[in-house]
Structure 1
Amino acid sequence: MSRLDSMLRRLAAQRDGLNWAAGQVSGLEGEVLDLGLGNGRTYDHLREILPGRRIRVIDRVLQCHPSCTPPAADFLEGEAEPMLRQLADSGVRVALAHYDFGSGIKNNDVAEAARLSPWLAAVMQPGGLVVSGQPLVGLAQIAGPDTIAPDRYLFYRA
């Protein structure tokens, strides 16, 4: 599969997974957390499918498209672990999280996801969902929508 085809498959899975997860948490209290802002496409989609929910974003640097810039109070700039600790210490509860950190080097990305998993679990509302491009530990993996190959995107319930 070409890298272009792989990217298209990943983006379609991401969109379908987020749409599915938004429906699953519709009655659950809590915020939304986007880990990895990048260009802001996912953040923009989350605003559209979850109107009225507070969406916090964690990333090392703000470099998204201007139309996708989160409010200053909702953008946590820096390394994820201290940002997740800060959220947990302040009592933030997350109904839906999207984990999209990665460098493209699989071993490094898997190790980082494993390291951050306990901190992500600490902010999750019981019953909340995590949609992830990387395997996480300490959360119960569940089946996502049938339209997504099991290894393409991963789904977890807190």
Structure 2
Amino acid sequence: MSRLDSMLRRLTAQRDGLNWAAEQIAKLDGDVLDMGLGNGRTYDHLREILASRRIWVIDRVLQCHPSCVPPEKDFLQGEARPMLELLAAENRRIALAHYDFGFGVKEKDVAEAAALSPEIARVMAPGGIIVSGQPLSGFQELDGPAGIPPGRYMFYRAVD
């Protein structure tokens, strides 16, 4: 498969997974969390499909497209662990989280996701959904929407 085809499959899986997750949390209270702003495509999609929810964003640096800059009060700039600890200290409850942190080195990315899983769990609303590009631990694995190849994206439910 070409890199272009692989990228298209990944982006389609991401969009379809986020749309599915938004439906799953329709009756659940809580905010949204985008972990890894990047250029802002996912954030832009989340604010379109979940316009009535507050969307928190965590990233090390703000380098997104100018049309995708989150409000200053919702952008938590810095390393993930202290930013997640800040949300937990403020008793924020996240109904839908998107995990997209990464260094581009699979082993390092998987290790970081595992290490951050307990901090993510602390901010999740019971029954909240996590859409992730990396495997997480301590959550109930879900099948997610039909048509997404196994391992392309992962879906989890926060347990009580």
TM-score (norm 1): 0.99
Q: Tell which deviates more after alignment, 98-107 or 125-134.
A: 98-107
- Name 1:143's counterpart in structure 2: 143
> RMSD of the TM alignment (CA)?
0.5
Residues 42-87 of structure 1: CA deviation (Å, up to 9, x unaligned): 0000000001100000000000011000000000000000000110
Quote the Cα distance in structure 1 between the aligned partners of 2:102 and 2:7. 14
Q: Which residue of 1 aligns with 2:19?
A: 19
Show the counterpart of 1:89.
89
SS at match of 1:128: strand
Cα separation, 2, equivalents of 1:134 and 1:44: 21
* Cα shift readout 1:72-128 (whole Å, capped 9, x = no counterpart): 000000000000011001100000000001122100000000000000010000000
CA distance in 1, matches of 2:118, 2:32: 17
- The runs of 4+ residues in structure 1 deviating greater than 6 Å are none
Partners of 1:26 and 1:113 in 2: how far apart? 26
Taking the aligned partners of 1:138 and 1:54, their CA distance within structure 2 comes to: 25
Q: Which residue of 2 aligns with 1:57?
A: 57
Q: Deviations over 1:4-25 (max 9, x none)?
A: 1111110000000000000000
Q: Secondary structure at the match of 1:129?
A: strand
Could you state the TM-score of these two structures normalised by the residue count of structure 2? 0.97
In structure 2, the partner of 1:42 is 42
Correspondence for 1:100? 100
Matches within 5 A, 1:126-141: 126-141=126-141
Q: CA deviation at 1:3?
A: 1.5
- The 2-side partners of 1:104 and 1:148 are apart by 22
Identity of aligned pairs, percent? 72
1:117 alignment partner in structure 2:
117
Instruction: Tell me which residue corresponds to 1:80.
Output: 80
SS at 1:92's partner residue?
A: coil
- Structure 2 spans left out of the alignment, 5+ residues: none
Distance of 1:143 and 1:122 partners within structure 2: 23
Any stretches of 5+ residues in structure 1 without a counterpart?
none
Tell me, in whole angstroms, the C-alpha distance in 1 between the residues paired with 2:109 and 2:88: 23
Count of matched residue pairs: 158
Counterparts of 1:136 and 1:96, CA distance in 2: 14
| SS of 2:11 mapped into structure 1 | helix
